[in-house]
């Protein structure tokens, strides 16, 4: 595995340090569809992989916001005469309101959007650990926002043999919303868009906070009582986690308590997988409440407030955003700094990884849209970490990840890309593997530029 990582590093270091000029086009639509993601597609036994779920759902949001933009423009931009003042304000206000409604309500549809992507992130972590499951927010399955098809016995063995991956599977869901915000923030920083996705960025940050709010209040206790009468008596037909965040904290603080020690399922087989806030000990409750407060960091993002970039002068644009991500060892708090300097699209990010009693650190560097010729460009991303190995232990994992994406442009609209990503042992958001891994991805892209 190390030799493969070195090959990726060598490819990055051998790149000539020359780049073409910045892309100043204004995009109405940007789509990227990973068609193959190996070995995830093989080990999962299905598509999509974690990254495919993120990209496909992001593409669906792109199409939705493009449609809203076109509708608003048709309604409020006159064919003749001026377009300013009240007309322009009304168009922007209506488009924002529709975008916010689309982000919240369409996300719950059983198609590749928010809830579907959230559940696929759960399934990716389960799947690479040889646990098959089904997405309960999919037209061909059922429409109830669950991941099902996992037995109590499977979860019992999973907790007993691999607590870190079980914990990762719990919080992978909300990592989807956080990563989607990261993706749309960076995409819209480096490539100018004709219409803002601020409403989606706001909704995603709110979704994560609201999930923590639900998990730290009496609603989580009420649902534990009210939900079972509507759930199947067959354990495998129930949501695998019950309630993601309370299950995460309970098992994180109590790794040695068997999964079967949960309360019995009323009038059915197995256990009640739902953990209420009152089921947690005082220290566990305090920890979860503190995580709720930390999740407010996801709102510290200028893109939520219609600011995609901050201009310093003709050579430098920048932005920033903070990010809170729950992880199997505790959490990751990060600061991201995207910069456009002269001809270079750069990204710097710093991380603090925290477990029950200690901290680690991480650093990420990226170079995006790096032009070799008029038709060939590449992205380079390097991450380094020294992070806790588990929630309660004092052990650390030192490692990193390297990613190289080469993209060939077939004119202004279509592109094809090849991505190679290698990582050592450790956690990085958006990758379901906690062990060493080398992945290859083939994608196609489509761009619609404003005339």
**Domain spans of the chain, in order of start:** 2-449
List phi, psi (to 5°) of 210: -65, -35
- Per-residue confidence at 411, pLDDT binned at 50, 70, 90? confident
pLDDT of residue 22: 55
Which residues partner with 409 through β-bridges?
415
Exposed/middle/buried for residue 32 (C-beta within 10 Å: 0-12, 13-18, 19+): buried
Q: Got the DSSP string for 64-85?
A: HHHHHHHHHHHHHS-SSS---T
334-372 per-residue burial string, b: 16 or more CB within 10 A, e: under 16: bebebbbeeeebebebebebbbbeeebebebebbbbbbe
Percent with pLDDT over 70 in the chain: 95
Q: What is the pLDDT of residues 177-200, one digit of tens each?
A: 999 999 999 999 999 999 899 999
pLDDT bracket for residue 254 (50, 70, 90): very high
H or E segment to which residue 47 belongs: none
Q: What is the bridge-based pairing of β-strands 396-410 and 414-423?
A: antiparallel
Closest CA to 409 of 419, 400, 417: 417
User: Closest Cα to residue 253, out of 328, 183, 322?
Assistant: 328
Q: Does the structure show a pLDDT above 50 at 21? A: no
Q: What average pLDDT score do residues 82-86 get?
A: 85
177 within 8 A of 208, measured Cβ to Cβ: yes
Structure tokens at 118: 């959230």
DSSP character for 373?
Answer: S
**pLDDT band, very low/low/confident/very high, at 23 (cuts 50, 70, 90):** low
Query: How do residues 233-253 score in pLDDT, each as one tens digit?
Result: 999 999 999 999 999 999 999
Please say if the pLDDT value at position 223 is more than 60: yes
The whole-number pLDDT of residue 224 equals 94
- Work out the average pLDDT over 384-400: 96
Q: Is the pLDDT of residue 8 over 70?
A: no
- Has residue 17 got a pLDDT over 70? no
Residue 84's pLDDT is 84
For residue 390, what pLDDT is reported?
Answer: 97
Structure confidence at residue 372 (pLDDT): 86
In tens, the pLDDT along 47-61 reads 899 999 999 999 999
63: tokens are: 């199409």
When mean pLDDT is compared across 14-28, 155-169, 335-349, the lowest value belongs to 14-28
Q: Above 90 in pLDDT, residue 217?
A: yes
The whole-angstrom separation of Cα 295 and Cα 290 is 9
DSSP labels for 218-283? HHHHHHHHHSGGGS-SSGGGS-SSSSHHHHHHHHHH-TTS-GGGSPBPTTSSSB-----GGGS-HH
Q: Are 308 and 291 in contact (CB under 8 A)?
A: no
> Which two tokens mark 6?
């070195």
Instruction: For residues 27 and 409, give the distance between their C-alpha atoms in angstroms, rounded to a whole number.
Output: 15
Q: What average pLDDT is seen over the chain?
A: 93
d(CA 77, CA 197): 20
Band of residue 11 on the pLDDT scale cut at 50, 70, 90:
very low
Spatial distance between the Cα atoms of 412 and 408, rounded to a whole number of angstroms: 11
Grade residue 19 by pLDDT with cuts at 50, 70 and 90: very low
β-pair partners for 381: 366, 403
Instruction: Specify the pLDDT at position 16.
Output: 34
Phi and psi angles of residue 258, each rounded to the nearest 5 degrees, phi first: -60, 145
- The answer to whether residue 329 scores a pLDDT higher than 60 is yes
């Amino acid at each position: 595995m190390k030799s493969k990582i070195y090959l990726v590093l060598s490819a990055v270091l051998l790149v000539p340090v020359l780049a073409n000029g910045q892309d100043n086009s204004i995009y109405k639509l940007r789509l990227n569809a990973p068609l193959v993601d190996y070995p995830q597609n093989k080990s999962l036994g299905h598509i999509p992989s974690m990254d495919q779920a993120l990209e496909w759902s992001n593409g669906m949001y792109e199409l939705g916001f493009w449609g809203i933009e076109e509708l608003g423009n048709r309604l409020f931009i006159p064919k003749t005469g001026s377009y300013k003042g009240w007309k322009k304000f009304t168009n922007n206000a209506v488009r924002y309101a529709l975008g916010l409604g689309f982000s919240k309500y369409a996300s719950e549809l059983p198609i590749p959007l928010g809830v579907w992507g959230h559940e696929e992130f759960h399934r990716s972590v389960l799947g690479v650990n040889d646990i098959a499951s089904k997405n309960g927010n999919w037209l061909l399955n059922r429409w109830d926002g669950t991941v099902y098809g996992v037995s109590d016995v499977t979860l019992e063995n999973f907790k007993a043999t691999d607590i870190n991956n079980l914990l990762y599977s719990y919080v992978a869901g909300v990592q989807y919303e956080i990563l989607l915000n990261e993706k749309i923030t960076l995409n819209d920083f480096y490539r100018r868009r004709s219409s803002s996705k601020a409403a989606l960025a706001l909704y995603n940050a709110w979704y994560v906070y609201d999930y923590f709010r639900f998990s730290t209040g009496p609603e989580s206790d009420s649902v534990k009582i009210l939900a079972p009468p509507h759930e199947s008596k067959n354990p495998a037909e129930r949501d695998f986690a019950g309630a993601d965040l309370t299950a995460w904290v309970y098992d994180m603080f109590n790794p040695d308590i068997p999964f079967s020690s949960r309360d019995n399922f009323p009038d059915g087989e197995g256990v009640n997988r739902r953990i209420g806030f009152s089921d947690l000990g005082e220290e566990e409750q305090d920890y979860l409440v503190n995580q709720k407060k930390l999740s407010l960091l996801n709102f510290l993002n200028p893109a939520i407030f219609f600011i995609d970039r901050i201009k310093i002068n003709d050579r430098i644009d920048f932005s920033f955003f903070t990010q809170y991500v729950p992880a199997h060892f505790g959490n990751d708090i990060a600061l991201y700094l995207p910069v456009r300097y002269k001809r270079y699209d750069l990204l710097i990010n710093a991380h603090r990884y925290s477990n029950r009693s200690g901290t680690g650190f991480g650093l990420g560097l990226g170079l995006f849209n790096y032009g070799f010729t008029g038709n060939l460009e590449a992205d380079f991303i390097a991450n380094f970490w020294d992070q806790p190995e588990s929630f309660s232990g004092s052990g650390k994992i030192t490692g990193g990840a390297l990613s190289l994406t080469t993209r060939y442009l077939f004119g202004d609209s279509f592109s094809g890309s090849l991505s190679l990503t290698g990582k050592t042992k450790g956690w990085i958001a958006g990758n379901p593997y906690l062990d060493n891994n080398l992945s290859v991805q083939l994608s196609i892209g489509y761009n619609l530029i404003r005339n």
